[in-house]
């Protein structure tokens, strides 16, 4: 992975005489609207390793999570032949032979979106356009994998928003929501719809229903796509970009002239009525095809030489083929560990139990070994990107710990410890 210092100059984002109380803003934030909805009692699924602290997850009377129940259902009760027929009918509805693209695939360059685009072109005869919202900080391996996908014959549209503004929104995401990746996730979801409107493309093919596959709301379990009215709740922690940016302007993060920056609109989707008027449709590939992340990796490795992490497994997990695109990515998972007690190894192991790649005891051992690890390798680079000091970062982290007293306790010497850990 490339280091920021090798090729980027990152100026300070704020004037030196402006002191912003990051930790206080975190303590008083109202933008992370999931936390107060989580149960106080911590429980773990008896089939996988996921806890009930994952937002919107559903546990049944047998203490099994909704994602595990969904896996059982899709293994034994979903008629995949029928869904494949429906998929072909959908593609035929939008298939074009006039030299224009007929489907957009929002694409980070990773194994999942890459496999979808490749299959749509070479297995289903579509004309896909991958649309990429540039990572916050490219990794060498992520950029290489993106290039490999493009050299396989996949057309790609890559957009890089105003990087200064993106860094500021990233900082606001970290401080107000506990997720610096808001500056990526919001754009990656939203920008594809702007491109669809601009190019007159009616079909957008996302990967999987993450709420269903990994544990979350079951409200859209039987739907083939994400209803627009659910985006804020299910994708953006209950807060829209406009209110976060307004807070940033009022509190010294964002300057007045940046409120009119042309790239700002792409952090939010187009108006719902405009998408409806233009018949733009959102579909999940995983609704029509059984979703298997590891199989997606095998596919792209064979088809266009997708490479794993050259450093071995990624920090805080045993996995070496997922989430490789962004140098700052490990801090997204670390904040999940702080806010929910769910680290990267838990996230990886839970779905690999369901898919039959791990048994539960193996998964628990991996969680114990990796979940708590702080991503120290690129901490200096992350602070440089965020334009924060070490102390300012830990002020924010500890403020989020204080938001979750049912998860964290602080000893007399100031050390924080997670109260609950899954056991064998």
Taking only the tens place, the pLDDT of each residue in 350-360 is: 999 999 999 99
pLDDT at site 21: 95
Give me the mean pLDDT over the 199-203 stretch: 98
CA distance 9 to 167: 13
Average pLDDT, the chain: 94
What's the pLDDT tens digit per position in 52-95? 999 999 999 999 999 999 999 999 999 999 999 999 999 999 99
Give me the mean pLDDT over the 224-245 stretch: 88
Percent of the chain with pLDDT over 70: 97
Q: Is 84 helix (H, G, I), strand (E, B) or coil?
A: helix
DSSP 8-state code for residue 33: T
What stretches of 198-320 adopt beta strand conformation (E)?
203-206, 281-284
Torsion of CA 124, 125, 126, 129, to 10 degrees: 100
Question: What are the residue ranges spanned by the domains of the chain?
Answer: 4-418
pLDDT at site 16: 54
Give me the mean pLDDT over the 360-365 stretch: 98
pTM, full prediction:
0.95
Angle, nearest 10°, between helix axes 390-403 and 329-340?
Answer: 40
In this prediction, residue 15 has a pLDDT band, given cuts at 50, 70 and 90, of: low
What's the pLDDT tens digit per position in 162-193? 999 999 999 999 999 999 999 999 999 999 99
Query: Rounded to 5 degrees, what are φ and ψ at 132?
Result: -115, 125
What's the pLDDT tens digit per position in 303-349? 999 999 999 999 999 999 999 999 999 999 999 999 999 999 999 99
DSSP 8-state code for residue 371: T
Torsion of CA 283, 284, 289, 295, to 10 degrees: 140
Has residue 7 got a pLDDT over 50? yes
pLDDT at site 19: 84
CA distance 185 to 133: 9
* Distance spanning both ends of the chain, measured CA to CA: 35
Has residue 418 got a pLDDT over 70? yes
In this prediction, residue 20 has a pLDDT band, given cuts at 50, 70 and 90, of: very high
In this prediction, residue 223 has a pLDDT band, given cuts at 50, 70 and 90, of: very high
Give me the mean pLDDT over the 98-113 stretch: 96
Q: Which of residues 287 and 19 earns the better pLDDT score?
A: 287
């Amino acid at each position: 992975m490339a280091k920021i210092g090798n090729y980027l100059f990152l100026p300070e984002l704020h004037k030196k005489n402006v002191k912003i109380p990051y930790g206080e803003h975190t303590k008083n934030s109202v933008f992370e609207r999931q936390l107060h909805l989580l149960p106080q009692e911590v429980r773990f699924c008896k089939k996988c390793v996921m806890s009930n602290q994952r937002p919107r997850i559903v546990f049944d009377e047998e203490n099994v999570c909704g994602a595990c129940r969904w896996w059982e259902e899709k293994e034994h009760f979903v008629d995949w032949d029928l869904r494949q027929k429906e998929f072909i009918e959908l593609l035929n509805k939008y298939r074009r032979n006039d030299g224009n693209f007929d489907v957009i695939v929002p694409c980070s360059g990773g194994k999942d979106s890459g496999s979808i685009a490749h299959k749509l072109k070479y297995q289903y005869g579509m004309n896909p356009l991958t649309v990429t919202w540039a990572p916050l900080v490219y990794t060498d391996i992520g950029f290489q994998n993106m290039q490999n996908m493009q050299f396989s014959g996949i057309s790609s549209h890559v957009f890089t928003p105003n990087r200064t503004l993106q860094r500021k929104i990233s900082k606001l995401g970290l401080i107000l929501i506990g997720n610096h990746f808001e500056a990526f996730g919001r754009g990656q979801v939203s920008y594809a719809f702007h491109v669809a409107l601009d190019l007159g493309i009616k079909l957008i093919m996302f990967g999987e229903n993450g709420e269903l596959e990994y544990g979350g709301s079951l409200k859209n379990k039987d739907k083939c796509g994400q209803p627009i009215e659910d985006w804020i709740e299910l994708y953006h922690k209950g807060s829209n970009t406009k209110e976060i940016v307004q807070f940033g302007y009022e509190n010294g993060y964002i300057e007045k002239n940046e409120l009119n920056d042309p790239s700002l609109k792409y952090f939010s989707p187009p108006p719902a009525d405009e998408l409806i008027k233009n018949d733009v449709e959102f579909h999940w590939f995983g609704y029509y095809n059984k979703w298997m992340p590891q199989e997606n990796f095998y596919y792209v490795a064979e088809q266009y030489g997708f490479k794993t992490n050259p450093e071995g497994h990624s920090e805080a997990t045993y996995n070496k083929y997922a989430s490789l695109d962004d140098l700052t990515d490990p801090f997204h998972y670390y904040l999940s560990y702080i806010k929910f007690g769910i680290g990267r190894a838990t996230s990886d192991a839970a779905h690999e139990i369901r898919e039959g790649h791990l048994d539960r005891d193996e998964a628990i051992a991996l969680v114990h070994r990796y979940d708590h690890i702080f991503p120290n390798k690129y901490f200096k680079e992350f602070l440089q990107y965020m334009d924060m000091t070490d102390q300012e970062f830990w002020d924010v982290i500890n403020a989020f710990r204080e938001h979750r007293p049912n998860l964290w306790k602080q000893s007399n010497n100031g050390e924080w410890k997670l109260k609950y850990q899954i056991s064998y």
